A = this chain, B = another copy of it.
C-alpha cells in the first residue's frame, strides 16, 4: 500500500514537501498552475485550482488533499468534499486563513489578543476609525492578500478609495511594535499538537526577509504565551497540518495576532536544516493523521535569510562556486525560479551556537547568491 498526498498548487511550499514525502515513502502528487512550476518534479497535473472539475479530477486518486497556498475558493473546497475527498486543513478551517475579517471576528470572540479592528464598508466608517485611532490605520482587503499585497497604511479613506466595492474591508489600528514574531505549531486531526520554538521574523517592504530561531529574549513567559495562543487557535479553528501564527510584540509588551497561515510558512523554513522534524515533514504526517515528530533544534540558533530577486543576469547556480566556497556550512535552497526583482527565488539557513556568527554566515550566503534583501555583510 502506498499513501498518496495531493497538493494543490505547485510553488516552493509544495516543492519542499517532496523531500519529506520521499523520505517517508509517501507518494506526492501536485496540481500545478503551469509547466515548470517549482514543484514540477511531482506535478502529475497542470490546471486551474479555481476550477472545481479540474480539482475534483486531480483529487480522485489521492488519499488526502492539502495545499501549497490558501487561494482555493470555498466553492471548490465544497465540491471536493462533496466528491468524497479528504481535505486537510478542511474548508471551515481554511476560511480563517482566506478571510481576514472572519479570522479577526473569530479570534476576537474567543478572547485571543488581536489589534483593534473594524469591518468597514464605507469611506465614512473608515474615516471614523482612523480619527479614533490617532489619524493612521492599516486597511486590508479581507481576501486575496499575501506578502504585503492587499495591505495599506492610510491616513484617510482617500488612500484606499479604489478598494471600496462589494466587499467590506478590514481596518486595524497601526500597531507600534517592537518586533514581529511567528509561532508555528502542527496539529493532526485526532488532536495532537506540537510546537516549534517561537521565532522572530524581520520584514522588508511587507515581505519576510530573515527569521531567527529561537526569537532572541524569548525564553520563559513570552514563548509560553505564544505557544499557548497558537495551540488555542489550532484547536479553536480545527486546523490540520502546520499553522503559522504571525504576531506583533508591542512596545508595551503585549502579544497581538497579526496573520494566520494554514500550511508550511516562510517563518518555518529554518526547520528543514535546524529541527529534528521539518515543517514539511510535519505537514505530511499531519495530513495523514500520523503521530507528529519531535521539534528539537539541532543547534542553539538557526537563521534563515530569503533570497529575493537574485543576480539579474544569471541563474542562482551561477553563484554556487563562490557561495559554497565562502560558506561551506550554509544550506542553500533554490526554488528553481527565474530571477526577478522582489521574487522569492530561494532561501539559506545557517545554524550554530553563536548568534552573531550564524546571522553573518546566512547573510553572507544570501548576499553572494544575489539577494536584494541583504546588504553586504560586514564582520
Contact = CB atoms under 8 A, between A and B. Distances in A.
Nearest to A28: B41
Nearest to A289: B321
A176 interface: no
A22 B18 contact: yes
Number of copies of this chain that the complex holds: 2
A317 B318 CA distance: 40
A331 B296 CA distance: 13
B24 A334 contact: yes
A315 interface: yes
Interface in A263-317: 272, 276-277, 285, 290-294, 296, 298-299, 314-317
Given A3-B317, A25-B346, A291 B334 contact: no
A26 interface: yes
A78 to B, nearest CB: 30
Interface residues of A, number: 45
Interface stretch (A223-231, A322-330, A370-378): A322-330
Nearest to A335: B25
A15 interface: yes
Contact of A25 (B19, B22, B294, B336): B336
Contact of A276 (B26, B276, B329): B329
A285 B317 contact: no
A336 B299 CA distance: 31
A109 interface: no
A46 interface: no
Given A2-B317, A42-B41, A324-B291, A22 B15 contact: yes
B291 A321 contact: yes
A103 interface: no
Interface string A12-47: 000110110011111000000000000001100000
Contacts of A22: 15-16, 18-19, 41
A320 interface: yes
B41 A293 contact: no
A26 B318 CA distance: 12
Which 6 pairs show the lowest CB-CB distances between chains A and B?
Answer: A25-B334, A19-B19, A294-B329, A291-B324, A291-B325, A298-B298
Interface of A: 1-3, 15-16, 18-19, 22-26, 41-42, 272, 276-277, 285, 290-294, 296, 298-299, 314-318, 320-321, 324-325, 328-329, 331-336, 346, 351
23 contacts: A1-B314, A1-B315, A2-B315, A2-B317, A16-B22, A18-B18, A18-B19, A23-B331, A24-B317, A24-B332, A24-B333, A24-B334, A25-B335, A25-B346, A276-B331, A290-B320, A290-B324, A291-B321, A292-B328, A293-B324, A293-B328, A294-B329, A296-B329
